[in-house]
DNA sequence: CAGATTGCGTGCGCCGCGCACGCTATCCTT
DNA sequence: AAGGATAGCGTGCGCGGCGCACGCAATCTG
């Protein structure tokens, strides 16, 4: 492998992981979706859509946040009607966090917005090149030094 | 272009931009390089290496941070001997931030560490595939919805 | 049935960050 | 040439997010 491949990818990751890009991007995705949906509550919605109904502790591990933070954000989203707390059927201590219908629609909207943004920046790419790039990026992220612990 | 390309890239970006990955990665890169070098001061060093000697305000724009934050981090790095404040030759108001020899070595170390980490996760890739992926990633990041403003 | 454990919500303290002020040096206008 | 306007810098201050730890309720265990 050429020696500058690592450095070239490093540069790209540098601008990608640059401070503010996450807030900037998530801000665009959640724009106009209500007061409760912003760049801080978005990971809760998105993660909950991935995992399905689960406890706050599990969701905390999923999105890399403390359990207390998830609880607070979940409360905000619950008041906005995007998320529902339902008692665990078998354990009356536990409460499951689950998306409401509206919550699922919001997640779907943000996901579609992100996909549209991405595809918009790939319009000039040859289709099969975009396809292979998507697969390679997916694989790279999965096997890279990013999946912590 | 297939419809799921955007969604596949979106998933990858999700895990990449996940909260904590930056701190985790930068923490690994700066491990054992002294008290002053951590995931918060790393962008200052790295950005200063990119731009060359410049003012705190310019560097702030470069790394997406407020001018005051850059000043504080610069002070920490200056006390550690990694960074030097030198008066602007033409304007006696301005102070230029510049890396010292040690600072440049530290940046070089972290950059090499990152490149090594990346290349380590690409060992099983065919060389020309890694090469094309690097170029595509670079292009994607440059033209994507990440370069704010 | 009583102590230990687990899950949850919340009060508290810490720290990063942006805003705004004061100070000094430079520019501009007359 | 001189004084007001402006730019650059450092710093005090307040806000907000986040992790820790406590208290309470429910469950497990011997």
Query: At residue B14, does pLDDT exceed 60?
Result: yes
Residue A37 and residue A30 in contact, taking contact as beta carbons nearer than 8 Å: yes
Residue in chain B closest to A17 (alpha carbons) equals B22
- Is A49 within a domain? yes
Give the pLDDT confidence of B52-77 residue by residue, as tens digits.
Answer: 999 999 999 999 999 999 999 999 99
- Is A140 within a domain? no
Cβ-defined contact of B19 to A147 (cutoff 8 Å) = no
- Is B2 within a domain? no
- Is B108 within a domain? yes
Phi/psi for B35 (5° steps) reads: -65, -35
Contact positions of strand C to protein Cβ (< 7 A): 6-11, 16-20, 24-27
Closest to A63 measured CA to CA, from A75, A80, A53, A51: A51
Q: Which residue is nearest to nucleotide C25 (CA to C1')?
A: B93
How many distinct structural domains can be found in chain B?
A: 1
- Is B80 within a domain? yes
- Is B7 within a domain? no
Residue A63 and residue A48 in contact, taking contact as beta carbons nearer than 8 Å: no
- Whether nucleic acid strand D comes within 7 Å of the CB of B92, the answer is no
* Residue B50 in tokens: 């990119």
* Residue A19 in tokens: 């401070």
- Is A91 within a domain? yes
Residue in chain B closest to A41 (alpha carbons) equals B19
- Is A130 within a domain? no
Closest-CA distance of chain A to residue B120, Å: 8
d(Cα B146, Cα B22) in Å, to the nearest integer? Answer: 16
- pLDDT tens across the length of chain A (149 residues): 667 899 999 999 999 999 999 999 999 999 999 999 999 999 999 999 999 999 999 999 999 999 999 999 999 999 999 999 999 999 999 999 999 999 999 999 999 999 999 999 999 999 999 999 999 999 999 998 887 65
* Three-state secondary structure readout of chain A: CCCHHHHHHHHHHHHHCCCCHHHHHHHHHCCCCCCCCCCCCHHHHHHHHHHCCECHHHHHHHHCCCHHHHHHHHHHHHHCCCEEEEECCCCCCCEEEEECHHHHHHHHHHHHHHHHHHHHCCCCCCHHHHHHHHHHHHHHHHHCCCCCC
Please count the other Cβ atoms lying within 10 Å of the Cβ belonging to residue A120: 12
The confidence score (pLDDT) of residue B148 equals 62
CATH code at position B81: 1.10.10.10
Q: Where in the sequence is the domain holding A83, given as residue range(s)?
A: 19-122
Residue A112 and residue B90 in contact, taking contact as beta carbons nearer than 8 Å: no
Residue in chain B closest to A135 (alpha carbons) equals B8
**A 26-55 near B (Cβ less than 8 A):** 28, 43, 46
CA A73, B21, A5, B103 torsion: positive or negative? Answer: positive
């Amino acid at each position: 492998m050429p020696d500058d491949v690592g450095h070239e990818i490093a540069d790209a990751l540098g601008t990608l992981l640059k401070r503010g890009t996450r807030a900037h991007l998530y801000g665009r995705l959640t724009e106009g979706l209500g007061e409760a949906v912003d760049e801080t509550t978005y990971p809760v919605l998105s993660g909950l859509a991935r995992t399905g109904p689960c406890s706050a502790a599990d969701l905390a591990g999923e999105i890399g946040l403390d359990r207390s933070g998830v609880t607070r954000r979940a409360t905000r989203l619950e008041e906005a009607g995007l998320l529902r707390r339902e008692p665990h059927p078998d354990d009356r201590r536990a409460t499951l966090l689950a998306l409401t219908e509206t919550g699922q629609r919001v997640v779907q909207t943000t996901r579609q917005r992100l996909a549209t943004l991405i595809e918009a920046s790939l319009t000039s790419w040859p289709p099969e090149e975009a396809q292979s790039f998507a697969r390679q990026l997916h694989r790279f992220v999965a096997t890279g030094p990013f999946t912590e612990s």
